[in-house]
């Protein structure tokens, strides 16, 4: 197996782990992202590469930066969010992705401010 193929498998496994820890099925993630379930399955197995757009959406869904998904050595946990309802619909997940992206952006701005002050 070539280095790029090994990296694809590692990324796929990391995303599968995050998805499972979040309690989401491949079908649910596919629906949230607007792709086919087989695409998620193949990418998680390393048979296909996630597109940059899908990686960005996955990062927003799991509340992390894309670089965290691509770094084989970095362990990440999905953001814990408390829900008032046990049944979330697609609009709820879209809102969660937007809120996670805002949190990621704030974190990044704080890092830049701290670097500028130093």
Contacts 24+ apart (CB under 8 A), 25-33: 29/58, 29/61, 31/90, 32/57, 32/61, 32/90, 32/93, 32/94, 32/97, 33/57, 33/58, 33/61
Closest-CA residue to 26 (of 14, 47, 42, 7): 42
Q: How many domains does the chain have?
A: 1
State yes or no: pLDDT of 31 exceeds 90: yes
The CATH number given to whatever domain includes residue 56 is 1.10.260.40
Report the pLDDT value the prediction gives residue 104, as an integer from 0 to 100: 86
**Does the reported pTM lie above 0.75?**
yes
When pLDDT is cut at 50, 70 and 90, the band that residue 93 belongs to is confident
For residue range 32-78, what is the model confidence (pLDDT) as tens digits? 999 999 999 999 999 999 999 999 999 999 988 899 999 878 888 76
Domain that holds residue 53: 3-117
Percent of the chain predicted with pLDDT > 70? 88
């Amino acid at each position: 197996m070539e280095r790029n193929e090994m990296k694809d498998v590692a990324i796929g496994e990391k995303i599968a782990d995050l998805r499972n820890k979040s309690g989401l099925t491949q079908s649910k993630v596919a629906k949230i992202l607007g792709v086919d379930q087989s695409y998620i399955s193949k990418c998680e197995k390393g048979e296909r590469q996630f597109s940059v757009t899908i990686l960005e959406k996955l990062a927003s869904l799991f509340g992390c930066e894309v670089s965290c998904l691509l770094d084989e050595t970095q362990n990440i946990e999905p953001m814990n969010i408390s829900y008032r309802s046990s049944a979330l619909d697609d609009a709820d997940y879209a809102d969660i992705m937007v809120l996670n992206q805002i949190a990621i952006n704030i974190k990044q701005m704080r890092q830049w401010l701290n670097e500028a002050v130093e």
